[in-house]
A and B are shown apart, each in its own frame.
Chain A
Amino acid sequence: MSIPDPVADADGFCALALRHLCGDLAADEAVAFTACLASSPEARRLLALTARMDAALQESCAADASERRLEQRSGVMQRALFQRRIARWAAWGVAAVLAAAVVVLWPARTHPAAPRVVAATGATDWTVGRQVLPDTPFRLAADAAVTLAYADGTELTLTAATGRIATGSGAKTIHLDQGHVAASVAAQPAGRPLRLRTARSVVEVLGTRLHLVAGPRQDLVVTTAGLVRLVRRADGATAQVGAGAWLTTDATGGPLQVRPCMVGDEARLVEEVLAGGRPQAPAPDAARLFAEDMAMPSALRPAGPVTGVGGWITPRSGPPSAPAGWGAAGVWGRICAAAPANPARNVRVEIRDLRLWCLERDGAWRQLGADPGCDGRDDPVRPARSVDLRRLADGTSSLGLPEVDGHIVIWPAARAPVRSVIRPAAVTGMAAAFWARLVPADAAQPDDLDIAGILAVCGGSFYPDTRQALKADFSNSAEWAVGRFKRLGRDWQAVTACSVDPAVLARHPPPLLIP
Chain B
Amino acid sequence: MATDADLLHRLLARRAWLIAWLRVILRDRELAEDVFQEVCVAVARRDAAADPVRNPDGYFLTVGRHLAFAALRDRARRQELPEAVLDVLAEDWLRPDPAADARLDALRHCIARLPAKSRRLVDLRYQEGHPMEEVAAMVGVTAGSLYVLYSRLHKALRDCVTRGLAAEGG
| Chain A interface residues (CB < 8 Å from chain B) | 10-12, 14-25, 30, 34, 37-38, 41, 44-45, 47-61, 63-65, 187, 190, 207-208, 225-227, 240, 242-243, 362
Residue interface mask B43-67, A partner, CB < 8 A = 1: 0110000000000000000000000
Chain B's closest residue to A18 (CB) is B147
Q: How far is the CA of A66 from the CA of B44 in the complex (A)?
A: 27
Q: What 10 new A-B contacts, CB under 8 Å, besides A18-B151, A20-B80, A54-B23?
A: A18-B150, A22-B132, A25-B80, A44-B88, A47-B92, A56-B100, A59-B104, A61-B127, A64-B127, A240-B8
B 64-87 binary contact with A (CB < 8 Å = 1; else 0)? 000000000010000011101100
> Assuming the A-B contacts A18-B151, A240-B8, are A52 and B97 also in contact, with contact meaning beta carbons closer than 8 angstroms in the complex?
yes
A47 adjacent to B24 (CB under 8 Å): yes
Q: A49-B158, A56-B16, A64-B108 are in contact. Are A15 and B151 (CB under 8 A)?
A: yes
* Number of chain B residues whose Cβ lies closer than 8 Å to a Cβ of chain A: 55
Q: Which residues of B contact A49 (CB under 8 A)?
A: 97, 99-100, 154, 158
Chain B nearest Cβ from A349, distance in angstroms? 38
Contacts of B41 in A (CB 8 A): 227, 242-243
Closest Cβ of chain B to A511, distance in Å, is 16
Among A47, A58, A362, which residue has its beta carbon within 8 angstroms of that of B89? Answer: A47
CB-based contact A63/B89 at 8 Å: no
User: Contact: B107 with A52, CB < 8 Å?
Assistant: no
> Which residues of chain A are near B113, meaning CB under 8 Å?
none
Tell me how far the C-beta of B150 lies from the nearest C-beta in chain A, rounded to whole angstroms.
6
Query: In the complex, what distance in Å separates the CA atom of A12 from the CA atom of B151?
Result: 8
A168 to chain B, nearest CB (A): 23
**Closest 6 pairs between A and B when the two form their complex, measured CB to CB:** A14-B151, A52-B100, A242-B41, A23-B27, A15-B147, A55-B20
Other-chain contact of B154, A38, A50, A59, A242 (Cβ < 8 Å)? A50
Question: Which residue of B is nearest A67, CB measured?
Answer: B108
Q: B85 to chain A: which residues have CB within 8 Å?
A: 34, 37-38
Cα distance A22–B26 in the bound complex, in angstroms: 9
Q: Once the chains are docked, how many angstroms separate the CA of A23 from the CA of B22? A: 13
Are the CB atoms of B104 and A22 closer together than 8 Å? no
Q: Provide the residues of chain B in CB contact with A22, threshold 8 Å.
A: 27, 29, 131-132
Whose C-beta in chain B lies nearest to the C-beta of A52? B100
Report the Cα distance A61→B153, complex, angstroms.
15
B152 within 8 A of A: yes
11 contacts between A and B (CB under 8 A): A14-B151, A14-B155, A18-B151, A22-B131, A50-B154, A51-B20, A55-B17, A55-B20, A59-B104, A64-B108, A362-B74
Contact string against A for B residues 17-42, beta-carbon threshold 8 Å, 1 for contact and 0 otherwise: 10111011001110001000110110
The 8 A CB mask of B86-102 against A (1 = contact, 0 = none) is 00110011000101111
How far in angstroms is the closest Cβ of chain B from A204?
12
**Chain A residues within 8 Å of B92, by CB:** 41, 44-45, 47-48
Contact of B20 among A38, A52, A187, A190 (CB under 8 A): A52
Chain A hits for B80, CB < 8 A: 20, 25, 30, 34
Q: Nearest residue in A to B74 (C-beta to C-beta)? A: A362
Distance A55 CA – B15 CA, assembled complex (angstroms)? 9
**B102 with A56: CB separation less than 8 A:** yes
Which residues of B, 124-143, contact A by the 8 Å Cβ criterion? Answer: 126-127, 131-132, 143
Given contacts A11-B148, A34-B82, A44-B89, contact A51 B21 (CB under 8 A): yes
Nearest CB in chain B to that of A22: its residue: B132
Could you tell me which residues of chain B, from 4 to 19, have a CB within 8 Å of some CB in chain A? 8, 15-17, 19
The distance in angstroms between the C-alpha atoms of A88 and B25, with both chains bound, is 62
Which of A21, A30, A45, A57 touches B23 (beta carbons < 8 Å)?
Answer: A21
Q: Which residues of chain A are within 8 angstroms of B88 by Cβ–Cβ distance?
A: 37-38, 44
- The answer to the question of B165 belonging to the interface, with a C-beta cut-off of 8 Å to chain A, is no
Q: Which residues of B contact A48 (CB under 8 A)?
A: 20, 89, 92-93, 97, 100
Cα(A47)–Cα(B97), bound, Å: 13
* B23 neighbours in A (Cβ, 8 Å): 21, 51, 54-55
With a 10 A CB-CB cut-off, give which of A34, A55, A59, A243 has the most chain B CB atoms. A55
Q: How far is the CA of A20 from the CA of B104 in the complex (A)?
A: 25
CA distance A48 to B97 in the complex (A): 9
User: For B148, what are the chain A residues with a Cβ–Cβ distance below 8 Å?
Assistant: 11-12, 15
Alpha-carbon distance A63/B40, docked complex (angstroms)? 19
Contact call B107/A57, Cβ cutoff below 8 A: yes
Max count, chain B CB within 10 A of own CB: residue among A44, A58, A243: A58
Which residues from A are CB-within-8-Å of B24? 20-21, 47, 51
CA distance A226 to B132 in the complex (A): 27
- Which residues in A have their C-beta under 8 angstroms from that of B104? 56, 59-60, 63, 190
Chain A residues near B82: list those with CB within 8 A.
34, 38
Instruction: Write out the residue numbers on chain A whose beta carbons fall within 8 Å of the beta carbon of B27.
Output: 20-23
Is residue B169 within 8 Å, beta carbon to beta carbon, of the partner chain?
no
Instruction: Look across to chain B and name the residue whose beta carbon is closest to the beta carbon of A243.
Output: B41
Question: Do residues B40 and A242 form an inter-chain contact, with CB atoms below 8 A?
Answer: yes
Complex Cα gap A306–B144 (Å): 74
In the assembled complex, which residues on chain B have CB atoms less than 8 Å from the CB atom of A41?
A: 92
Task: Write out the residue numbers on chain B whose beta carbons fall within 8 Å of the beta carbon of A225.
Answer: 37
**A19: which B residues are within 8 A, CB to CB?**
147
CA distance A51 to B28 in the complex (A): 12
| A225–B126 alpha-carbon span in the complex (Å) | 24
Q: Tell whether A240 pairs with B127 under 8 Å between CB atoms, given A15-B147, A22-B27, A49-B97.
A: no
Least Cβ–Cβ distance between A88 and chain B, in angstroms: 33
Is there an interface contact between B127 and A23, defined as CB atoms closer than 8 Å?
no
Chain B proximity of A509: nearest CB distance (Å): 14
* A57 near B122: Cβ-Cβ < 8 Å: yes
* C-alpha spacing A22/B130, complex, angstroms: 12
Expressed in whole angstroms, the minimum distance between the Cβ of B65 and any Cβ of chain A is 14
Q: B45 touching A242 by the CB < 8 A rule?
A: yes
Chain B nearest Cβ from A187, distance in angstroms: 7
Which of B33, B99, B108, B150 sits near A187, CB closer than 8 Å?
A: B33
B146 to chain A, nearest CB (A): 9
Which chain A positions have C-beta within 8 A of B127?
61, 64-65
Q: Which of B15, B20, B24, B107 has the most chain A CB atoms closer than 10 A to its own CB?
A: B20
